[in-house]
Every structure is written in C-alpha cells, then in structure tokens.
Copies of this chain bind each other. A is one copy, B any other.
Amino acid sequence: MSPVKSIRLALLGCGVVGTEVVRLLHEQADDLTARIGAPLELVGIAVRRPGRERGDLPVDASLFTTDALGLVKRDDVDVVIEVVGGIEPARTWLVEALRAGKSVITANKALLAEDGGALHDAAAEGGSDLYYEASVAGAIPLLRPLRESLHGDRVTAVTGIVNGTTNFILSSMASTGAGFNEALEEATELGYAEADPTADVEGFDAAAKAAILASLAFHTRVTAADVFREGMTGVTAGDMASAREMGCTIKLLCIAQRTAESVSVRVHPAMIPLSHPLASVGDAFNAVFVETEAAGPLMFYGRGAGGRPTASAVLGDIVAAARNRLTGTRAPSESNYASLTVRPIGESMTRYHISLDVAEKPGVLATVAGVFAQHEVSIATVRQSGRADDAKLVIVTHSAPDAALAATVEALSKLDIVRSIASVLRVEGTPS
C-alpha cells in the first residue's frame, strides 16, 4: 500500500476506448504512480449491461454499475472519465461532475462541439479541470499544444485531416482509381468504416472536430452549427483523375481561418497540391496543419482513431488531472476572450475547380468566361478538351468569395451550351 492517498477514477462507458483505458491503467500502473506521485484507483465503471462478457479485462466485476449518475455523485470519486459519446445523458453527468469540483476527461466531440460552453461554464463554476485531448485526432497531442504551447503566438489557420474513415476512402480512390462506393466497401470490410458511415462521409464528425479546434485556436466559442459542412460522397474517380492531372489530390479537410475580426470554419472535400504536407497523409492517419504568425507552419501527425491510440490520449489527460489534484492546481481555463464573429461560408475566400460538359460550338469559352466576369470571379486556368460529342471545359479560378463562386456555377448551369456541370471542387493549399 502506498502511504499517499490514491486518486480515484470513475469510468463512464466501457466500449472500444473504455476497455483500452482499463487495460492501460493496469499495464502501466507502476509508471503512472511514479509519474503522478500517487496511485490511480478505478472505483467504478458505468455501463449499460454490467453482466456482459468482458473477456480478460483486469478489473473486479463488482466495479460495474448501471447507475452512472450515482457513480458521478460519489464523494470518493476525484476524476470522471467519459467515453460514452452523444449529447445526453453525457452532458448531465459531466455538468454534475464539474460543478461538484471533480476533474473531467472526455472524448465526446459531439457534446463539446454542440454545447462545450455548458461544460466550460460548469468547470468554471466548480473550479474544476476539463480535459478533452482524445476528442480530436485521437492519439495526436494537438489540443494541449493549441491550448498552451501556442498561447504566445497568433494562430491564423488550422487545416486538418481529422477523419480517418474518409481519409482511408480518399487515399484508396487516389491510389487504385476506385470510385467512392467501391472504396467505401473496402473500408467497411477492413473495419475502417461503420455500418452506417453517414457521420464520417457526410462530414459531421469532422465538423464537430473543426468547431473544437477553431474554439481553441481563435479564443472564441465556435459550435458545430457555425461550421459549413459538405460531405465527400460526391467525389468521383473522375475528380480524382482530374486532381492528379493538376498535380493535386483530394482530401476531406476541416479548415478554420481567421482575419482581424472574424473566423470562418468549414469542412468539405478539396484539391490540395501533392507538395502540401497534408497530401501524403495516407491510410486512416490524421494530420493537422497549423499556421501561426510567428512559428510558421506546423504539422501534427498520427493515428486519429482506434481504441488504444485514443486511450493513450485519455491517459495523458488523467495524469495531468491527477497531478493537478495532488498539487491543488488547475489546467488553464477556457480562453474565449477574443469572441470573434463567425463568417458565413459565402464570405469565405476560396478557389473553385469546375468541370463542365459543353456543346462543341464556336464561342463557348467566350460565353462561359463572360459568366465568370459578370460575377467578378477571375479565372486562373482553362483547359478545353474537345470531341464533337463530348467537349469539356475545366476551369480553375483565383480566390473569390464563395458566394460569388456559387452564383457563377448557378448561372453556368442555366446556359444552353452547358450540358452538365460534371464537378465543382474547392482548391486549397495553394497561393491564389
């Protein structure tokens, strides 16, 4: 027995991540005790089905309970770890814990993005620590650098690949020439995509993470509702081939940018040049590219998901929270002093790559170019490939307000000479 009082942990949820948290607490117990200066003790695990077979999980069966709220309220619990997910009842549990002065570790990106303010307010009320490294980009130490290391600098942009499922699909489309459905099927077979992949492929997961990153980077509360979101189900094998011809690839990006008085936060597929550090992030890996005024470009790379990598991030937070409790100190509290306005997508400055099927007639390019000029969108490059029955125009614009670009595409679709708009993709990571 250690002479030092132990730090007592309550775990809410024991699925893929929770199981690995339990295992790591067990495997690394001696190291954790040495690093913290006191032992960690798991005093309860809230689950829906306590009787479920849990193989060789190294804990006593008596720790399991279905009464999560009761566990959270126990006087002898110091740190509450939530790996259940979803808005309710997680929010109720965590607000309760924080108000009561307990430290909270959560991987719940949906809750943080939807109503992180409720958690931060409860933490301020209770004088409690709120850590959530595992909520974005799994194992990658990313939030602590943003929350602490870069606080002497000004972040101007964060561009990230924060969803492993869609990165696996797009990497596979890029390397094999497969279409979206085929690549999704492969991802599902290999366990990279869930049975219902909507949250991933429609960008909801990435949008939640974008809100969390933007809040930290810009000292401003940003919620999922502030994030413009476009999924990647419309990316075709033809788009990928077209990207390759331009020396680019296509990634589902979360992009948060700031100007003097406002920020814009969006998630959508985009072409990026192969020379960009994010372009070579393959497989189900995550990476986040951070631009600052003084430090210049930074990139953080690693596994964004998986039970054990995510549990590593949770454990790092547990060590920090436990140390704080022992020394009677607190993590830096929420920094939202900047309170910048979130700009609508229409005001974001972007570039478009537009591919049109057009009639093979003289004057087509002049007419099309006229539409761009009318909307004050400047064209960077045009490629025409013409066969009598299948003429194509591929146009890349200079940077322009997204609303002007959208209006241009809308006007083009109404021209008789435009048979169809084969694809519209934003282009990122290059000078305008």
Contact = CB atoms under 8 A, between A and B. Distances in A.
A139 interface: yes
A298 B294 contact: no
A429 to B, nearest CB: 15
Contacts of A309: 294-296
Contacts of A317: 152
Chain A: number of interface residues, binned into ranges: 35 or more
A362 interface: no
Contacts of A28: 152-154
Interface string A377-413: 0000000000000000000000000000000000000
Interface string A32-66: 10110000000000000000000000000000000
Interface in A312-357: 312-320, 323-324, 327-330, 332, 335, 337-338
A145 interface: yes
Nearest to A32: B152
Contacts of A303: 295-297
A312 B292 contact: yes
A133 interface: yes
A152 B314 contact: yes
Contacts of A298: 139-141, 300-302
A35 B219 contact: yes
Nearest to A35: B151
Which one of A32, A148, A151 has the highest number of Cβ atoms from chain B below 10 Å of its Cβ? Answer: A151
A294 B315 contact: yes
Contacts of A280: 277, 280
A34 B297 CA distance: 24
A297 B32 CA distance: 21
Contact of A24 (B141, B294, B316): B294
Nearest to A28: B154
A31 interface: yes
A175 interface: no
Interface in A118-156: 133, 139-141, 144-145, 148-154
A120 to B, nearest CB: 15
A190 B197 CA distance: 50
Contacts of A301: 277, 298-301
Given A24-B153, A280-B280, 5 more contacts: A294-B309, A297-B303, A299-B301, A327-B329, A329-B329
18 contacts: A31-B154, A34-B335, A144-B145, A150-B316, A151-B315, A151-B319, A152-B312, A152-B314, A152-B318, A277-B301, A294-B309, A295-B302, A295-B303, A295-B308, A296-B302, A298-B301, A299-B302, A329-B330
